[in-house]
A and B are shown apart, each in its own frame.
Chain A
């Protein structure tokens, strides 16, 4: 079974500051890694995903994430945030083999960007 731990439930930052949202995962099999964003009263939207290859993955809206296999981490970063980045961010994994490709999500990190 897979599990995901998002280390911070809330992260407040000021506009134009850098931000890092932390995600650690646990799995006995190889996994794919995802970050989704949920804006207020909306569904989830994919920010980026890691499948293989380069460990640095670039996504939409200036976000990027780095896969670290030895530390089983997939932290999300943005060098300069905007007010519009205020949202809940979910890290998720899915297994790379077998037959059940469900997403297992972390509890989410609420990013609040203040002016």
Chain B
């Protein structure tokens, strides 16, 4: 158990809908990362937050947004969903996200299926 929790575990929804994925980092970690894992693209970095502020952006679509709250949990919002958004979404956390040497601890993921 990494200490990172993600809810829900599974999500089934329809095209055009909007969903929210939630992540709670390990106790004491200030930085949260979101990754998308799909069969064709593999594991791709989406976005990083540090202590409530956006720190870095990756291949995140404009239909997707995220935020980190004062209690340090994070939410990833996916809107106008398309079939191709079906994937496993991972959240990871690290102590402060100020160096590439840090270990990122991954949650169990949320499996999203868009029908």
Chain A contact patch, size range: 20 to 34
| Neighbouring B residues of A49 by C-beta, 8 Å | 101, 103
Say yes or no for A51: interface residue by CB 8 A criterion: yes
Stretch at the interface among A67-75, A76-84, A97-105: A97-105
Interface range on chain B: under 10, 10 to 19, 20 to 34, or 35 or more? Answer: 20 to 34
Contact code string A32-64 (vs B, CB < 8 Å = 1, else 0): 100010000111111001010000000000000
Considering only residues 90-111 of chain B, those with a C-beta below 8 Å from chain A are 90, 92, 97-109
**Is A94 part of the binding interface, using a Cβ–Cβ cutoff of 8 Å?**
yes
Chain A residues within 8 Å of B107, by CB: 43
Tell me if A31 counts as interface (CB < 8 A to partner B): yes
Q: Which residues in B have some Cβ–Cβ distance to A below 8 Å?
A: 2, 4, 33, 35, 42-45, 48, 55-56, 58, 90, 92, 97-109
**Which residue numbers of A lie inside 8 Å of B, CB to CB?**
31-32, 36, 41-46, 49, 51, 90, 94-97, 99-108
